[in-house]
Structures are given as structure tokens and as C-alpha cells.
């Protein structure tokens, strides 16, 4: 009898279950604590290690100075100061975010169809893919002179670099996703009377979405790198411009506040993609939960 072999747990089952629920909350809390532990430790050590508000002989401002600088940068200093960073934080953040959005959307609009074509169509794979692979190793920084020469010191140059940087991971991952579509799904669709275009739209595209989202997340990371590089050189506004400008006038407090801003923005925008992915790929998430 297997029933008697079982340990006598049924009596304590209810408590075990409520214990499991509270331990799930506990686990989550523990994760959050563990995640913020290291950043807090670094900030505290950095603060304690400084003398007269700076580290390394006056090079690095301590966190409290950075915080002060950010407050002025964000909300203004009051009165008629000559501080060029007073109250411009949000405007610069918006400049950068707008460029990233435009460039990223352009990369998505071009990258997904091109990737699907490469992954799905042999002719597209042989004609387009080699060119993509040839251009891909050229870093976006190497495109800077080209971009300035062609577009001048203008927004479009920055958007071009961002789009180019985000395009490669999107196109490569989309193509991989389209190549990996289960053969029987395509056969099933053809058997049911779908045209090749319908198969592309209603089978290959949805089946490739998990890979497309992977490409989007990598692409977005590159887009943030690209916007900073482009703004440092090719335009006169945005977080990248402020970063370089503040460095030139020795405002390391603004430089660090700027860096933290970029980091938080990158994290938030990535999280937006993750949320959209969760919503779009419910079927996929359920699959992985059950396996």
C-alpha cells in the first residue's frame, strides 16, 4: 500500500500552505533587499570615503553633492543664477528620450520586416543577409563622422545612429526566429489553404515574436548607448550633450547625476518592453510555466 508509506503530513497541511504563501512574499522581499544591498553599500562607502564632499583628491563629488546638483538641475536654483544646468533636467531627458523613441521605432519598422524576409525567404536571405552581416561589425561610433558629414549637426543624425545601432540586433533575432518556426506549423497552415503571405503574417510573425522581443531589448540598450554618443558629438542638447559639456566645465556632480539618469531611463524603458512582452506573449509564458 502506497497510502501508508506517505509521511503523516495531512494534519499540518493548512499551516504549511499559509506558510508557503507568506514565504512567497518573504522571498520577494528578500529579492528586493538583496538587489538594493550592493548599490546602497557603494553609495554609503562612497559618502563615507569622501572628504569635503569629494573623493580622490577632489575629482569625484560625494553622493550628497550629486543629489544637490541634481535638485538644481531638475528644479532650478531660484533667482537669476548663471548656472546653465539650472532647471533643464527634464527638457534634456525629453530630448534624449524622443531621439531614442524615433530611432528605435525606425529600427523596429525596418528591422522586423527585413528580418522576417531573411528568415523566411531564401532569395532575401542570399541577397540581403550578406550585406547586413558585412555592415554589422562597424560600430556606431565609426559611423559618427559619416553621420555628421551627411546630416550635419542635427537631430536626424542622432536618430540615424540610434536606428542603425538598434537595427542589427532586431534584424538578426527576427531572422533567427523566422528560421526556427516549427515546420509542421507552416505545413498545417498551407494545408488549411493559407497563402504564403498569410503564412508569413499569421504563422511566421507570431511564432517569431519571442525572438523579436529579445532583439528589441538588446536593440534598446544599444539605442541608449547610441543617443549618448551622438549627443556628445553631433547635437547640442540631450543627456549626452550635458554629460560632455558638464565634464568640460568640471561639473562632475552634474556628470554623475546625468549618468544615473541614463541608467534609470534605460532600466525603465527596458521594463516597458518586458511588460508589453508579457502581455503579448501570454501563450508563451504559460508554456514555460507548465514545462
234 neighbors 244 (Cβ within 8 angstroms): no
Stretch that binds another protein, among 66-74, 158-166, 184-192, 265-273 (CB under 8 A): 184-192
Interacting stretch for another protein, rule CB under 8 A, among 43-51, 70-78, 105-113, 281-289?
Answer: 281-289
User: Using CB under 8 A, which of the segments 31-39, 181-189, 241-249, 254-262 binds another protein?
Assistant: 181-189
Q: Is 198 in the site for another protein (CB under 8 A)?
A: yes
Distance CA 30, CA 23 (A): 10
Applying CB under 8 A, which of residues 13, 32, 134, 191 lies at the interface with another protein?
191
Minimum distance between the CB of residue 121 and another protein, rounded to whole angstroms?
Answer: 17
| Cα diameter, the chain | 87
Q: Is 276 in the site for another protein (CB under 8 A)?
A: no
The three cell numbers locating residue 240: 549626452
| Shortest distance, position 39 Cβ to another protein, whole Å | 38
Round to whole Å and give the CA distance between 1 and 11. Answer: 20
CA distance 91 to 82: 18
Three state DSSP letters for 69-102: HHHHHHHCCCCCCCCCCCCCHHHHHHHHHHHHHH
Estimate to the nearest angstrom the gap between the alpha carbon of 280 and the chain centroid: 18
Question: Is residue 189 a contact point for another protein (CB under 8 A)?
Answer: yes
249 binds another protein per the rule CB under 8 A: no
Q: Confirm or reject binding of residue 286 to another protein (CB under 8 A).
A: yes
Q: For residues 291 and 288, what is the distance between their CA atoms, to the nearest angstrom?
A: 5
Residues contributing to the site for another protein (CB under 8 A):
182, 184-185, 187-195, 198, 202-203, 206-207, 209, 281-284, 286-287, 290
Amino acid at each position: 500500500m502506497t497510502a501508508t508509506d506517505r509521511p503523516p503530513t495531512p494534519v499540518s497541511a493548512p499551516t504549511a500552505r499559509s506558510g508557503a504563501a507568506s514565504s512567497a512574499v518573504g522571498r520577494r522581499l528578500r529579492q528586493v533587499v538583496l538587489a538594493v544591498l550592493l548599490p546602497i553599500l557603494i553609495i554609503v562607502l562612497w559618502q563615507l570615503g569622501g572628504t569635503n564632499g569629494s573623493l580622490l583628491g577632489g575629482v569625484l563629488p560625494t553622493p550628497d553633492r550629486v543629489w544637490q546638483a541634481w535638485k538644481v538641475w531638475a528644479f532650478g536654483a531660484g533667482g537669476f543664477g548663471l548656472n546653465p544646468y539650472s532647471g533643464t533636467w527634464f527638457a534634456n531627458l525629453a530630448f534624449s528620450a524622443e531621439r531614442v523613441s524615433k530611432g528605435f521605432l525606425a529600427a523596429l519598422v525596418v528591422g522586423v520586416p527585413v528580418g522576417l524576409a531573411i528568415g523566411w525567404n531564401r532569395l532575401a536571405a542570399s541577397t540581403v543577409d550578406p550585406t547586413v552581416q558585412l555592415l554589422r561589425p562597424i560600430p556606431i561610433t565609426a559611423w559618427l563622422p559619416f553621420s555628421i558629414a551627411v546630416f550635419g549637426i542635427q537631430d536626424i543624425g542622432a536618430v540615424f545612429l540610434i536606428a542603425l545601432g538598434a537595427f542589427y540586433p532586431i534584424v538578426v533575432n527576427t531572422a533567427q526566429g523566422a528560421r526556427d518556426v516549427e515546420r509542421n506549423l507552416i505545413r498545417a497552415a498551407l494545408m488549411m489553404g493559407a497563402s504564403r503571405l498569410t503564412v508569413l503574417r499569421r504563422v511566421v510573425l507570431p511564432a517569431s515574436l519571442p525572438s523579436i522581443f529579445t532583439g528589441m531589448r538588446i536593440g534598446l540598450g544599444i539605442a541608449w548607448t547610441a543617443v549618448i554618443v551622438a549627443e556628445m558629438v553631433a547635437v547640442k542638447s540631450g543627456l549626452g550633450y550635458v554629460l560632455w559639456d558638464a565634464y568640460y566645465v568640471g561639473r562632475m556632480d552634474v556628470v554623475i547625476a546625468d549618468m544615473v539618469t541614463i541608467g534609470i531611463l534605460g532600466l525603465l524603458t527596458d521594463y516597458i518592453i518586458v511588460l508589453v512582452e508579457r502581455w503579448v506573449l501570454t501563450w508563451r509564458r504559460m508554456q514555460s510555466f507548465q514545462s
